[in-house]
Structure 1
Amino acid sequence: MDSDAAREIDIESAHSARIYDYILGGKDYYPADQQAGDAMVRAWPALPVHMRANRDFMNRAVRHLAEEAGTRQFLDIGTGIPTSPGMPMRLRTLAEAGQFFEGLELVEPGIVQVHRWRPEGTDSTEIRDEDIAMYGAVARTPG
């Protein structure tokens, strides 16, 4: 495969990262992503609320790490940049999500729906639990 072919982006097929960008009001998507995003929102009207709650959680978690835990360097893994083969999704229960944190010290409030993780200063009190299908947590290595 030559370098030009490796850089080619398939704009005819929707991609989860670009759909996410579209639903959040971004600018880096194509018509296929917009059509897929619109269809997803028709099927799950709370999807934009869910996605914003996820983004807000990430901001609160990073703010905690930088301001309260003194973390000075971050590495973002899984940034959502489209790649091949395609970013398949697997739904997990709370117990299954908890396995990722085994052996780590969870920061309060532990593993919760993303809008419930330290919601101070956000409007997450107006978010319904049934609209959020994602858990979040911050943990550190013991020691």
Structure 2
Amino acid sequence: MSGEVDLQTDRAHGARIYDFVLGGKDNYAADRAAAEDSLRVWPALPVHMRVNRQFMHRASRFLATECGIDQFLDVGTGIPTSPNLHEVVQQVRPDARVVYTDNDPVVLAHARALMPSTARGRTAFADADLRDPDSILSAPEFRELLDLDEPVGLMLIAVVHFIEDDDEALDVVRRIIDVLPSGSFVAATIATDDFAPELLAGVREAYREHGEVLRFRSHAQASRFFDGLELLDPGVVQMHKWRPDEPRTLQIPEADIAMYAGIARKP
């Protein structure tokens, strides 16, 4: 049929795997198979994904509350799971503006339906891919909603590990950062196998067998995404160690967390 969108349901997609592991229903057989195979080799996957979500909440709240950021670009949005980024920041700044981007039509369909803004704030959703920064930077939603004369909060949450080539990943992130004004912030979580390499090799293979890539990076490699920026304390650390809300979070075993996190300011 003319105009039909190919949902590519025969291959796994990171956003839908994430949705399944967190108990969502917006996923397909390939996504569930990839998740189940991953869980068999690394049962900590749900803990890891919940901690990633918690970091996104802390980071966005911190940027809105402590740094005065009232406009955000969220690259690789994922399927909506409340509270979403705009819900967090608009509690602090009701007039906050958020542009979400993703390249999965399932994500975009649900995002537009389930993520309305507050009356004073605004949200928009762009069909764009981190691998093609121009698709983000030229999107009407990006140009219309974000004022590039004022600082922006760039959120790169659990997304750069879907680009396998290190140089490409660094380049596409840098191209977006270069457009943002001084005083903008970058918050990112970056996949690593530093703490459980053998188990996570099985997770990487499970993803690959079902059509999705997964690239783990060392601490040094993860830190390169913040080159030229002013890292905030405590630097690039496992995400449950970045300014946790509750001390008990630090009791999570290191081997159960497979992402570094950091927030940095553009000078």
- TM-score scaled by length of structure 1: 0.86
Distance 1:56 1:30 in 2: 25
Residue of 251, 256, 263 corresponding to 1:126: 251
Structure 1: which 5+ runs fail to align?
Answer: none
Distance 2:17 2:223 in 1: 28
Distance 1:42 1:15 in 2: 19
Distance 2:233 2:241 in 1: 11
Aligned to 2:74, the other structure's residue is in SS state coil
Tell me if 1:114 matches 2:239. yes
CA positional deviation for 1:108: 1.1
Percent identical among aligned pairs is 51
The answer for the alignment partner of 2:65 in structure 1 is: 67
Tell me if 1:44 matches 2:58. no
Distance 1:141 1:12 in 2: 40
- TM-score scaled by length of structure 2: 0.48
Tell me if 1:136 matches 2:261. yes
Distance 1:141 1:8 in 2: 38
* Alpha-carbon spacing, 1:122–1:67, altered in 2? closer, same or farther (3 Å): farther
Tell me if 1:95 matches 2:220. yes
CA positional deviation for 1:15: 1.8
Tell me if 1:3 matches 2:7. no
Aligned to 1:22, the other structure's residue is in SS state helix
Aligned to 1:12, the other structure's residue is in SS state coil
Which consecutive segments of 4 or more residues in structure 1 shift more than 3 A?
A: none
Distance 1:104 1:33 in 2: 36
The answer for the alignment partner of 2:19 in structure 1 is: 21
CA positional deviation for 1:122: 6.9
Aligned to 1:135, the other structure's residue is in SS state strand
Map Cα deviations across residues 44-91 of structure 1 (whole Å, 9 max, x no partner).
Answer: 111111111111111111111011111001110122443799x43211
Distance 1:123 1:110 in 2: 20
Aligned to 1:57, the other structure's residue is in SS state helix
Q: More strand per residue: 1 or 2?
A: 2
Distance 1:12 1:77 in 2: 24
Structure 2: which 5+ runs fail to align?
Answer: 79-101, 106-128, 132-161, 163-212
Distance 2:27 2:72 in 1: 26
The answer for the alignment partner of 2:55 in structure 1 is: 57
Q: Alignment RMSD, CA only?
A: 2.2
Distance 2:17 2:24 in 1: 9
Map Cα deviations across residues 9-51 of structure 1 (whole Å, 9 max, x no partner).
Answer: 1223222210110001122112332222111101111111111
